[in-house]
Structure 1
Amino acid sequence: MADPLRDRARRATGWRLRMNGDARPHYVICGSDPLAYWVVRSLLATETPAGQVRVTLVVPERRRSDGPDGRDLDGVQVIIAARLDEATFRRAGLAGADGLALLHQDDVGNMHAALCAQEVEPRLRLVVRMFNTSLANGVRQLFPDSAVLSDASMAAPAFVAAALGEVAPTHFRHGGRTLYVARRTDVRPTDVICGLAVTTDPASTRLLPAEDATADVVLAEATGQRPGTELAARRLVRARRRRQPVTVLLRAVRSFATRKIGVAVLLLLGVIALLGWLNSRASGVDWAEALYLTLVTTLSGQDPDVNKPAAAQVMQVVLNLAGLALIPLITAVVVDGVVNARLALHAGRIQPARTGHVVVVGLGNIGTRVMAQLHDFGVEVVAIDKDPDARGAALAHRLGVPLIVGDAGLEETLRAASVDTCQALVVVSTDDGTNLRAALNARSLDADLRVVLRLFDGDFAERIQKAFGIGISRSVSYLAAPSFVAALLDRAVIATIPVGRHALLVTEVPVVAGSALDGRPLAAVSRPGEVRLLAYARAGQKTDWTADPRMMISAGDRLTVVARRAGLSALLRETTPVPPEPAGAPVPRQPEE
């Protein structure tokens, strides 16, 4: 049986032998969507002690969408294959590779591909993308050196936090402390661990600034005394279900029957009212007695009197005829209303008036997660999707979340969801064009509406922000890619912190004997804008959160850092020794003097 720890050590030191003599790490990526693009792009930017990694991308012949999927990036070997089987993996050079990432949006297909890959390379670092995370334990039992990740689970908290107006959704426990991301004004100064970003200028976000006091977004310790807790609680209270009974009643009456039946009923009631008024004038009674006589005559036809004047007898006969027509109309209204109500509720067209809720557009992987998390927080949610059988439709019905079936780009669909009175609109469908139309139409209904928009293209998102003032945009693939890359490179990522369209990684890095940082002070770890040291731990000892920067680093020590992806790659080069040259490698020629 393969030993995951031994293989992990070999990959960390970089001396795993390769059949072609190339000492550079080799990774095979299988995917054809934006997540594959960002994973490949991040791997190409990763520097290891053995040099830049080699990436082989396996894609189907046809693109799933017009967006990039990594096959057009420079420096990538592309293998086009209809199936992920043993023959495909051998063509991709999986034998002897350092890792395989299966990133297709097909849980069963990824499982089958993993079994085929194991036949080609038993000792393989495997990273599998799965929506159904309950299968993770089964995958880990079959593949001991594997990681099962869900991009939807990783990115959903960022959308939820943006919808509720929170700065970031991240909270995690490490080294005996629970840490969370907040604005500096929402935490006590003694609880601040370090500054993360300066976001005062919307056009330019500065990450990990040199002057810690300038950062308005910080990483803080949860001590049970959080000033922002009351504010968050009030926000959630405002977001809970609040109904307007009169408006709900009017909407229900208006949508109860068809237009033609409603017009017929109104005309008949008008005729009865007119004849009742004429009857009261002829009989010389007050309005209360006239109303009583009119209703009795209309509904029962009682009290015939041959001694009445001819005009009164004519009006009584007409009222009796009107009564005969009124009863069937009332029956038709009831039957028609019940049928229409059931059809409308099934299609999501009838929605009671709401305020303070969150509208989620698109019940795919990410939309389903966002809807569920908002519901768990006690926030009322209304969902919109074109497909009545979307992935999250069944969960919406089970949670009691109203689902409106229709095009979110149309104004009537947004009105049916009461977008004009909601607190936030989260647009997370897979179509950038539909997302943009929904966001702009929603802004036309409420200019101050908080819109959380899913867009893949970062440059497009910035232009939309400047042109329309929609500043909260998220890319699911961009947010999740660092965790997939870290898992593929066998790095222990503790948390991923989204800041705007950027991502920071919290990870623990071991120091290997003979590396560049072995024997240097702790102050050499931090680099403004790239890496910030959070904690330090010697082998077998507890984590020290207040270590002296002058303390010397020794082999076996563990460094807990928050870093950007490029900064983390540079730190890993400094904590890992340069691997020896493989046997038979050519000796560099010395220049002549």
Structure 2
Amino acid sequence: MGEVFQFHREIIVGGDDPLSKTIAEELRGAGARIIKINTAADLLGAGVHRARAVVCAGPNDAVNLEIALLAREYSPNVRVVARLANDVLREAVTAVSGPGAILDVADLATPSLVEAVLSRNAHQFETAGIEFVVWGAEAPYDATLREIYADLAPVAVVHGKNSPTPGEVVPCPGRDLRVYAGDWTSMIGVKDELEARGITVPPPPVTRSRHSRLRRGIDAARAMRDDVNPMLVPSLAFALFLTLGSTALVHFTYRNPRMSWVDALYFASETITTVGYGDFSFAQQSTSLRLFGVALMFGGASVTAILVAFLADLLLSRRFVQTAGLRRARHMRDHVVVVGLGSIGVRVVRDLSAAGYDVLVIEPDENNRFLQTVAELDVPVIFGDSTMRQTLESARVDRARGVAVVTQDDMENIETGIVLLEILGSDTKVPIVMRVQGRALGTAVNRRFGFENVRSIVDLAAPWFIGAAMGLHVLGTFWVGQRSFMVGGMLVAPGSELDGLRMVELSTQTRVIAITRPEGPVRLRPRRDARLKAGDTVYIIGPYRELITTLRKGQPPPQTAVNGERAATLAAARAAHRPDVRPPRWAPEPDA
């Protein structure tokens, strides 16, 4: 009988950016054996035929697409988790893909950014046919969570200045935890339960201006008035004086025939505009009137040219386009300022506009590819450097309801945030939401500069990729304090560590909110002595690292196989691949 050995069930990870590296590190910490690849040519050598999942999360859509398609071709049952920013490609691949997920970082990160910039204290999601709400508020007085919120399940507590440990985040505490007045408490419950306790979760208010045609016309006239060349008004006044004065002079001095006021106005106008003489002329008039006609023609030509130049400058010049956002910003109030019109920024703008909020964008690139999108949404754009004080002041940040700084340059975002604090003051009530790439930088910025809403794109997106790779159905991510939480559902496999485990034996930093079983109804907030069993679908909430650890315990036990079977499987997989694929270049990393 051949030698029996254990499959490692490797997870193949492609990409070399911070997101890919974080995904690899977290998966390794969850017990997976990680094999890094650079291109689709490395898939066969990396053992795609026996891998649990293939994760391609690098920033290049073309590379990710090739890895995803070839991984599916080589192994129809492998979980393929791919990052694609292109909407058309993502929808097409999702339609033909098998197990796994096709994800977009911008779509994953935007909801948290929008919640933060609007200072929303409720996060809603639906699972097992039930609508849950994670609701946050400051503790009204010193007491235990049970005394304040009864049987609502606590998700997290952020201790405030009245606590012995200010700033500490306690995930999924027990109901007997003592909190202090001013501590931020985050609780979860069914929406109907919260409303029964007087806690309402209203839909976001529609504050976007719905102007009538008359109001839009008034705003347009006001904007043109503010932007016209200062010499335009004197030029118009002189043209009017010239026309009226010439009309009076012609009316009183023109002979054979005498002119009425209307004829005099007509004759003076055609002389000033130099459109020619067909019915009246100065030919038979006195010398002084003919000399006046000559002067009137030269003066009229000059005035007409000046007026045309000023109007062209106002209506047709590039300066008019560039300053359109500045003119509209002068009259905006209670709006949201979005700094940076990248893939994330345009989604933030789109979501805010769809929810009914007035939005204004600051963007340095006049040729940005998303300008047409925001123009269709009727969102004004100010072109300028967001790190300059005058640019931010022109966006009326002091009258805004929130500012989202979401450019793709971390240093530019930090500098913009610092300038915003200088303008608004360190005690401002205007939420400043700052996007950074990595987790460590986000933590450092929060501690050093005191920004309360620093959002790491890696922290927002990584849980979705990790959960999809390991079979967790991610339902949503949200933030409490500066810590990322996740809601997910998982199936308890037969023979896994969770099969037969009591609730009390689960991680103290996670909370089971519901269990579904094929033969029974949904069980909400199961008791601590309840036991899990194979086939249960468990819905849990907590910091995503703890959820991944719990997920690992719910996985089936390692598979075994005879060495001859493995060799046959490997040979079959290699025979199926195309002959033109280059030799693999990969190196398995050590087991965690």
* TM tier relative to shorter chain: 0.7 to 0.9
The equivalent residue for 1:338 is: 315
- The aligned counterpart of 2:533 is 554
SS where residue 160 of structure 1 aligns?
A: helix
Amino acid at match of 1:218: M
What is the distance in 2 between the residues matched to 1:419 and 1:451? 10
Is the 2:338–2:349 Cα contact (8 Å) retained in structure 1?
yes
Per the alignment, residue 507 of structure 1 pairs with 488
Secondary structure, in 3 states, of the residue corresponding to 2:316?
helix
420-429 or 341-350, larger mean C-alpha shift? 341-350
Answer whether contact 1:191 1:222 (CA < 8 A) is retained. Answer: no
Q: Indicate if the aligned counterparts of 1:140 and 1:146 stay in contact, CA closer than 8 A.
A: no
Matched, 1:152 2:132: no
Q: 1:78 aligns to what? A: none
1:251 Cα deviation from its structure 2 partner: 5.1
Write the distance in 2 (CA, Å) between the matches of 1:476 and 1:129.
Answer: 14
Partner of 1:481: 462
2:135 is the counterpart of 1:182: yes
Query: Aligned residue for 2:119?
Result: 165
Q: Helix, strand or coil for the counterpart of 2:468?
A: helix
Judged with a 3 Å threshold, the aligned counterparts in structure 2 of structure 1 residues 42 and 330 are, in CA distance, closer, same or farther, namely: same
Give the whole-Å Cα distance in 1 for the aligned partners of 2:497 and 2:36: 32
Q: Which amino acid aligns with 1:160?
A: V
Counterpart pick for 2:224 among 252, 256, 280: 252
- Name the residue aligned to 1:425: 403
Residue matched to 1:211:
175
- TM-score, normalised relative to structure 1: 0.72
Distance 2:528 2:338 in 1: 47
* Partner of residue 131 from structure 1, selected from 75, 78, 85: 85
Give the aligned residue type for 1:561: I
The Cα shift of 1:107 comes to 4.2
SS of aligned partner of 2:195: coil
Question: 1:55 maps to what in 2?
Answer: 34
Moved more, 179-188 or 33-42: 179-188
1:563 maps to what in 2?
A: 542
Q: Distance in 2 between matches of 1:465 and 1:300?
A: 74
Deviations 1:47-74 (A, max 9, x none): xxxxx32222334xxxxxxxxxxxxxxx
**1:68: which partner in 2?**
none
CA positional deviation for 1:373: 0.5
Pick which of 113-122 and 369-378 moved more: 113-122
Query: What residue number does 1:100 align with?
Result: 54
The answer on 1:382 being equivalent to 2:360 is yes
Provide the residue aligned with 1:536 in structure 2. Answer: 515
Secondary structure, in 3 states, of the residue corresponding to 1:351?
helix
Partner of 2:257: none
Q: Secondary structure at the match of 1:551?
A: coil
Please give the alpha-carbon distance, in whole angstroms, between the structure 2 residues aligned to 1:421 and 1:441. Answer: 16
CA distance in 1, matches of 2:544, 2:136: 23
Shift of 1:423: 1.5
Distance 2:362 2:441 in 1: 24
SS of equivalent residue, structure 1 residue 225: helix
Distance across 1 between alignment mates of 2:478 and 2:424: 30
Paired residues of 2:153 and 2:189 also in contact (CA < 8 A):
yes
- Offset of residue 496 of structure 1: 2.3
1:113-512 pair list within 5 angstroms: 113-133=67-87, 135-136=89-90, 138-167=92-121, 170-184=123-137, 193-201=152-160, 203-211=167-175, 214=179, 216-223=185-192, 225=195, 229=200, 236-237=206-207, 240=209, 252-257=224-229, 262-263=230-231, 296-297=244-245, 328-340=305-317, 343-345=320-322, 348=325, 350-353=327-330, 354-447=332-425, 448=428, 449-512=430-493
Determine if contact 2:204/2:355 at 8 Å carries over to the other structure.
no
Partners of 2:563 and 2:472 in 1: how far apart? 31
Superposition RMSD on alpha carbons, in Å?
4.0
Identify which of 16, 24, 32 aligns with 2:16.
32
Which string of whole-angstrom CA distances, capped at 9 and with x for unpartnered residues, describes residues 269-290 of structure 1? Answer: 7xx8xxxxxxxxxxxxxxxxxx
Distance 1:116 1:580 in 2: 25
Q: Does the C-alpha gap of structure 1 residues 403 and 106 become closer, same or farther in structure 2, counting only changes over 3 Å?
A: farther
Provide the C-alpha distance between the structure 2 equivalents of 1:22 and 1:346, rounded to a whole number of angstroms.
Answer: 67
Shift of 1:495: 2.6
The aligned amino acid for 2:195 is Q
Q: Report the counterpart of residue 4 of structure 1 in structure 2.
A: none
Q: CA, structure 1 residues 478+419, in 2 after alignment: closer, same or farther (shift >3 Å)?
A: same
State the distance in 1 between where 2:491 and 2:201 align: 39
User: What TM-score does the superposition give when structure 2 sets the normalisation length?
Assistant: 0.72
CA 1:240–1:36: 2 relative to 1, 3 Å? farther
1:6-38 per-position Cα deviation (integer Å, ceiling 9, x unaligned): xxxxxxxxxxxxx99663231122223332122
Letter in 1 for 2:473: A
CA distance in 1, matches of 2:343, 2:390: 25
Counterparts of 2:47 and 2:55, CA distance in 1: 14
Using the alignment, how far apart are the partners of 2:58 and 2:556 within structure 1? 35
| One-letter amino acid of the structure 2 residue matched with residue 340 of structure 1 | S
- Give the share of equivalent positions with the same residue, in percent: 24
Tell me if structure 2 keeps the 8 A contact 1:30–1:58.
yes
Cα gap change, 1:576/1:420 in structure 2, threshold over 3 Å: closer, same or farther?
closer
- With over 3 angstroms needed to count, the CA separation of the structure-2 counterparts of 1:89 and 1:521, relative to structure 1, is closer
Q: CA deviation at 1:217?
A: 1.0
User: What is the CA distance between 1:484 and its match in structure 2?
Assistant: 0.6
Aligned residues: 497
Structure 1 position 572 matched with structure 2 position 551:
yes
CA shift for structure 1 position 42? 1.4
DSSP 3-state at the match of 1:198:
strand
Q: Which secondary structure state, in structure 1, belongs to the residue aligned with residue 519 of structure 2?
A: coil
Structure 2: unaligned runs, 5 residues or longer: 141-145, 161-165, 254-291, 565-592
Compared CA separation, residues 459 and 494, structure 1 to 2 (3 A): closer
CA displacement at 1:152 relative to structure 2: 1.3
Residue 29 of structure 2: which of 45, 50, 69 is its match? 45
User: Retained in 2: the 8 A contact 1:27–1:54?
Assistant: yes
**For the Cα contact (< 8 Å) 2:337–2:397, is it kept in 1?**
yes
Q: Counterparts of 1:30 and 1:128 in 2: how far apart (Å)? A: 9
Cα deviation for residue 250 of structure 1 reads: 5.9
Describe the superposition over 1:203-242 as per-residue Cα deviations: whole angstroms up to 9, x where unpaired: 33221123366471112221283856587756x53x6579
Distance 1:192 1:112, change over 3 A: farther
Decide whether the 8 Å contact of 1:251 with 1:352 is kept in 2: no
Corresponding letter in the other structure for 1:553:
L
Contact 2:154 2:188 in 1 (8 A): yes
